[in-house]
Chain A
Amino acid sequence: MRALLTNRNFAIGLLLTCVFVAGALISFLWTPHDTSGVDIANKLKKPLSEGYLLGTDHFGRDILSMIMVGARTSIAVAFVAVGIGIVIGVPLGLAAAASKGSLMDEIIMRSNDLVFAFPSLVIAILITAIFGPSAVNAIIAIGIFNIPVFARLTRGAALSLWQRDYVLSAQVAGKGPARISFEHILPNVTNLLIVQGTIQFSLGILAEAGLSYVGLGAQPPIPSWGRMLAESQTMISFAPHMALLPGLAIVFTVLGLNLMGDGLRDIFDPRIRREKR
Chain B
Amino acid sequence: MLRYTLSRLQSLILSLIVASIVIFATVEIVPGDPASFMLGMNAQPDTIAALREQLGLDVPLWQRYLHWATGLLGGDFGTSYTYRTPIAEMIAERLWISLPLAIYALTLSTLIAFPAGILAATRRGSAADVSVMGFTQLGVAIPNFWFAMLMVLVFAIYLRWFSAGGFPGWENPLLAMKALTLPAVALALPQASILARVMRSALLDTLSEDYVRTARAKGLTRRQTLWRHALRNALIPVLTIIGLQFSFLMAGAIIIENVFFLPGLGRLVFQAISQRDLIVVESVVMLLVFAVIIVNFAVDIAYAIVDPRLRGNR
Give A residues with C-beta under 8 Å from B: 113-114, 117-122, 125-126, 128-130, 202, 206, 209-210, 213-215, 229, 232-233, 236-237, 240, 243-244, 247, 250-251, 254-255, 258-259, 276-277
Contacts and interface: CB of A to CB of B under 8 A. Distances in A.
A117 B142 contact: no
B149 A247 contact: yes
B252 A121 contact: yes
Interface string B238-273: 000000000110111011001100000000011011
Main secondary structure of the interface of B (DSSP, over half): helix
Contacts of A126: 23, 26-27, 281, 285
Contacts of A259: 137
B143 interface: yes
Given A130-B30, A258-B137, A277-B201, A119 B292 contact: yes
A250 B138 CA distance: 11
Nearest to B266: A214
A122 B137 contact: no
Given A129-B273, A237-B157, A251-B142, A119 B248 contact: yes
B153 A236 contact: yes
B251 A121 contact: yes
Nearest to A119: B251
Given A117-B15, A119-B248, A229-B146, A130 B26 contact: yes
B174 to A, nearest CB: 26
Contact of A119 (B137, B141, B143, B288): B288
Contacts of B259: 233
Contact of A129 (B250, B255, B278): B278
B73 interface: no
Interface of B: 15, 18-19, 22-23, 26-27, 29-31, 125, 137-138, 140-143, 145-146, 149-150, 152-153, 157, 201, 204, 247-248, 250-252, 254-255, 258-259, 269-270, 272-273, 278, 281, 285, 288-289, 292-293, 296
Main secondary structure of the interface of A (DSSP, over half): helix
Given A254-B141, A259-B137, A214 B149 contact: no
B22 A114 contact: yes
A225 B125 CA distance: 36
B255 A121 contact: yes
Contact of A122 (B258, B272, B285): B285
Given A128-B273, A130-B29, A255-B137, A121 B254 contact: yes
A130 B145 contact: no
B207 to A, nearest CB: 12
Given A118-B285, A247-B143, 15 more contacts: A117-B289, A117-B296, A119-B251, A129-B27, A129-B278, A130-B30, A210-B143, A210-B145, A229-B145, A243-B149, A243-B153, A250-B143, A251-B142, A254-B143, A258-B140
B289 A122 contact: yes
Q: Please name the 4 residue pairs, one residue from A and one from B, whose CB atoms are nearest each other, closest first.
A: A119-B251, A247-B146, A121-B251, A254-B141
Given A114-B19, A119-B247, A255-B138, A125 B254 contact: yes
Contact of B270 (A209, A214, A250, A251): A214
A247 B150 contact: yes
Nearest to B258: A214
Given A117-B19, A214-B270, A258-B140, A122 B149 contact: no
Nearest to B205: A277
A62 B277 CA distance: 38
